[in-house]
Amino acid sequence: MTNLSGFAQNNPTNEVPNLKGKNVLIVYGGWKGHNPQAFVERITPWLKEEGAIITTSESLDSYTDEKLMAETDLVIQSWTMGKISKEQANGLLTAVKNGTGLAGCHGGIGDSFRDNSEYLYMVGGQWAAHPGGKINYDVNICDTKDPITEGLSDFDVMNTEQYYMLVDPNVKVLATTTFSGEHNAWIEGAVIPVVWKKYYGKGRVYNLSIGHEPKDFDNPSVWTLLKRGFAWAAESKYQAKENLMSPVYDSKQCPK
Ligand SMILES: [Zn+2]
């Protein structure tokens, strides 16, 4: 009998799957300030160690390669403030709809193509500000049962950007950060998601908002969130679909 009740049930030990034999396409480019090449260099040894089959591309045209996209289990995108053509966007959107996962960090996924509404719909969030620039801040694990965050505790990140994201209120949020108001007084106490997971069609989408510089991943908690989330997103084609719908708003009542 097939267990269709979801990932956690399929993995009774709540283990995150590994990437052995998975086809991973890394697409990187865009704003040089995020040094996408350094991000690729940071994650590649781990992907190799995992046994992933890696293809790297510095062109969004890879998204128009139907065969490549159909064979890809996971797209890791690191592309900030770019322009995506209709054809390129359609290639990515179609592949994810059909079960290719999409994962990324920081502006590489959350500030990629500001003028493509369907891309925003797929990712479930868009960067808006990082008050104070590089600062120290806390990250709070708000879901300790999910395999991606299981066993992790709240942690600090140092000298990096605290992303104020505009987020789809239906994504499943795993970690948040609270803004102090030190840099923008009117957002004191604002709680903004840092990590979320969702579906777009059959494809799993994973966002981690930390990662302005590769050194951010030296923090073991951040690195764990990257590794587990990316591995989760690569499983869309192989694991039963989870119900990740987590509406913030009640249809009859607004949150207090
Ligand atoms: Zn940044």
The pLDDT score that the predictor gives to residue 13 is 46
The pLDDT score that the predictor gives to residue 112 is 98
| Cα 251 to middle of ligand 1, angstroms | 35
- 92 occurs within a structural domain: yes
More confident residue, 12 or 196: 196
For residue 78, what are the CA distances in angstroms to 142, 146, 151, 162, 215? 26, 25, 27, 18, 16
- 103 occurs within a structural domain: yes
pLDDT category at 14 given cuts 50, 70, 90 is low
| Cα 182 to middle of ligand 1, angstroms | 19
- 9 occurs within a structural domain: no
**pLDDT tens digits, one per residue of 243-255:** 999 999 999 988 8
CATH number at residue 103: 3.40.50.880
| Cα 253 to middle of ligand 1, angstroms | 36
| Cα 96 to middle of ligand 1, angstroms | 25
- 228 occurs within a structural domain: yes
| Cα 29 to middle of ligand 1, angstroms | 14
| Cα 30 to middle of ligand 1, angstroms | 12
| Cα 101 to middle of ligand 1, angstroms | 23
| Cα 219 to middle of ligand 1, angstroms | 16
| Cα 34 to middle of ligand 1, angstroms | 6
Mean pLDDT of 214-222: 98
| Cα 11 to middle of ligand 1, angstroms | 35
- 182 occurs within a structural domain: no
The pLDDT score that the predictor gives to residue 9 is 43
Provide the number of structural domains found in the chain: 1
| Cα 240 to middle of ligand 1, angstroms | 34
**pLDDT tens digits, one per residue of 87-138:** 999 999 999 999 999 999 999 999 999 999 999 999 999 999 999 999 999 9
pLDDT category at 1 given cuts 50, 70, 90 is very low
- 155 occurs within a structural domain: no
- 243 occurs within a structural domain: no
Q: Is 133 exposed, middle or buried (0-12, 13-18, 19+ CB in 10 A)?
A: exposed
**pLDDT tens digits, one per residue of 31-89:** 999 999 999 999 999 999 999 999 999 999 999 999 999 999 999 999 999 999 999 99
The pLDDT score that the predictor gives to residue 255 is 84
DSSP codes, 81-99:
S----HHHHHHHHHHHHTT
Q: How much of the chain, in percent, has pLDDT values that exceed 90?
A: 91
Q: Please state, in angstroms and rounded to a whole number, the distance separating the CA atoms of residues 256 and 245.
A: 20
Q: State which residues form the domain around 212.
A: 18-126+193-233
By the CB criterion, residues less than 5 angstroms from ion ligand 1 are 161, 212
- In sequence order, the 6+-apart residues with CB closer than 8 A to the CB of 200 are 93, 96, 97, 102, 121, 122
